[in-house]
Structure 1
């Protein structure tokens, strides 16, 4: 792990700042924030108008003087000041006052695998701006594995796939550490984008950015499997006339359109397995792949991976909150480390 469990037990709160959602866990109180990572700003006064769910509803529906921003991109904070303002409003005055009364306030945060030093620094500075005197960073893969109940501390191979909005992270874990891992810049947003581009090119139809979830509409039923409905109706804006129009879309064509981003995920899984020792690969073949993250709920994705790899694929009970729940379990001291005592000579 990035830090010891003893250091994490001293932390008072934990933050999982993702491209899609921001989650905050407070020791003793549990999960207190689970909101979209979105903020709306008045460009005339630079004042914050809304954050979270309400700000997300404003996307694509604001006048010119209101700007909807996302201070997090690909799991990395790109606007520290805006991220701090967003977190302050999401946590709320009452909870912030309670945290500030803690002596030497400590925080823990998830960071994507192989995050560069600048990205790590941005996370630390954001939480320091909220009053934290010390910030511990934990790899998202470790936190998610703990949160979904994988036996990461044992001497056996477990494979986890964190399906985020902007990226997918795959790793094999053993003895509480990452043996080999791969970060693929393909996530739920890439799949959505592939569907939107397909509809634009094939049907000259433009979809609203946030009011319609093209994935759920186009992949209803059994999703990526060929057993779903043959066609589905989608309503959008005609590119040529500028008027609203409905079209019936062949779901088989949609499945073909999203194969390109999903193929990159399969390549990443193959690379991780090739870099693993044979014993750990055998463990993975027995135990399977655990999928976590919001995009793990993509209809039919688990079945597609199962067919392509020949390995059992499981989806965590609550895949979207596994990472923050794992951090919370470490903060609360619910995880016992495996003690390796050196043998006497």
Structure 2
């Protein structure tokens, strides 16, 4: 059976998972041997393709043996990413790891899976992902993202000018935009159930409180929220590896 790898390429940290090894990479996202260089990922976007290739090659080939046959990969991606973002990600994976199959999963969906949410549940789910440099809000219904918004703001921005209340209000604005533009009842229904909070922000009790106040709904912080997306991507890559079309490739 083909090797399987799940990767969460974040603005702050890069994490990778393999069956039998679990999470075997959890390091700052930076180009090897160039600690003072600009980060290759900013606000969820790959801004240095060559740097990302070097980083993944160094990390994954150092921590794991060469893969024969070529692996199946699932990479977490920010919700609402653009075609150019996906093209850069495909190029990085191709150059760094030469996978047989490379798939994407929305980070918010992966995090919900990793947090134990039942995506087969017909009731919509509101997910808030407060990461290092990005805030993402999405409503999942029957396993699909039906509404989403994002803001280029994260825990790294916290300081005198940006507080947890600031980010909570911004999140509330994003949810309000989804409510106004929704064509169905999913956003209202999801908001009524409460929000699932993932990412580094879920470790900040004051943000949990501020977000509950801004949304006027209960907020549940996911267990081990920083690695929830990777755990969900791990579930996805194992399902992909078992898929008949992938298995048939040998």
Q: Which residue does 2:86 correspond to in 1? A: 120
Post-superposition Cα deviations, 1:49-96, rounded to whole Å, max 9, x if no partner, equal 26xxxx4xxxxxxxxxxx333111111111111111112222243504
Post-superposition Cα deviations, 1:297-341, rounded to whole Å, max 9, x if no partner, equal 23401111212222110100111001110011222349xxxxxxx
Residues 82 and 272 of structure 1, relative CA distance in 2, 3 Å threshold: same
Q: For 2:141 and 2:123, locate their aligned partners in 1 and report how far apart those are by CA, in whole Å.
A: 5
Q: Which residue does 2:7 correspond to in 1? A: 15
Out of 8, 33, 42, the position equivalent to 1:73 is 42
Q: How does 1:1-345 map to 2 (within 5 A)?
A: 12-39=4-31, 48-49=32-33, 55=35, 67-93=36-62, 95-97=64-66, 100-101=67-68, 103-129=69-95, 130-192=97-159, 195=160, 259-276=165-182, 277-278=184-185, 281-285=188-192, 287-333=193-239
Residues 262 and 284 of structure 1, relative CA distance in 2, 3 Å threshold: closer
SS of 2:220's equivalent in the other structure is: strand
Residues 284 and 126 of structure 1, relative CA distance in 2, 3 Å threshold: same
Determine if contact 2:198/2:225 at 8 Å carries over to the other structure: yes
Question: CA RMSD of the aligned region, Å?
Answer: 2.3
Q: Which residue does 1:223 correspond to in 2? A: none
Equivalences, count: 238
> Highest Rg: 1 or 2?
1
SS of 1:110's equivalent in the other structure is: strand
Determine if contact 1:11/1:108 at 8 Å carries over to the other structure: no
Q: For 1:168 and 1:279, locate their aligned partners in 2 and report how far apart those are by CA, in whole Å.
A: 20
Residues 10 and 270 of structure 1, relative CA distance in 2, 3 Å threshold: farther
Q: For 1:189 and 1:29, locate their aligned partners in 2 and report how far apart those are by CA, in whole Å.
A: 30
- Report the CA distance between 1:134 and its aligned residue: 2.7
Determine if contact 1:26/1:32 at 8 Å carries over to the other structure: yes
- Report the CA distance between 1:293 and its aligned residue: 0.6
Residues 333 and 133 of structure 1, relative CA distance in 2, 3 Å threshold: closer
TM score, norm. by length of structure 2 = 0.86
Q: For 2:130 and 2:195, locate their aligned partners in 1 and report how far apart those are by CA, in whole Å.
A: 12
Q: For 1:303 and 1:262, locate their aligned partners in 2 and report how far apart those are by CA, in whole Å.
A: 9
Determine if contact 1:10/1:331 at 8 Å carries over to the other structure: no
Post-superposition Cα deviations, 1:253-299, rounded to whole Å, max 9, x if no partner, equal x85xx6444422220122223444336523531x3100001122234
Q: For 1:324 and 1:279, locate their aligned partners in 2 and report how far apart those are by CA, in whole Å.
A: 26
Residues 282 and 131 of structure 1, relative CA distance in 2, 3 Å threshold: closer
Q: For 2:21 and 2:81, locate their aligned partners in 1 and report how far apart those are by CA, in whole Å.
A: 29
Determine if contact 2:135/2:152 at 8 Å carries over to the other structure: yes
Structure 1 gaps of 5+ residues are 1-8, 40-47, 56-66, 199-253, 335-345
Determine if contact 1:27/1:331 at 8 Å carries over to the other structure: no
Q: For 2:230 and 2:29, locate their aligned partners in 1 and report how far apart those are by CA, in whole Å.
A: 15
Determine if contact 1:155/1:174 at 8 Å carries over to the other structure: yes
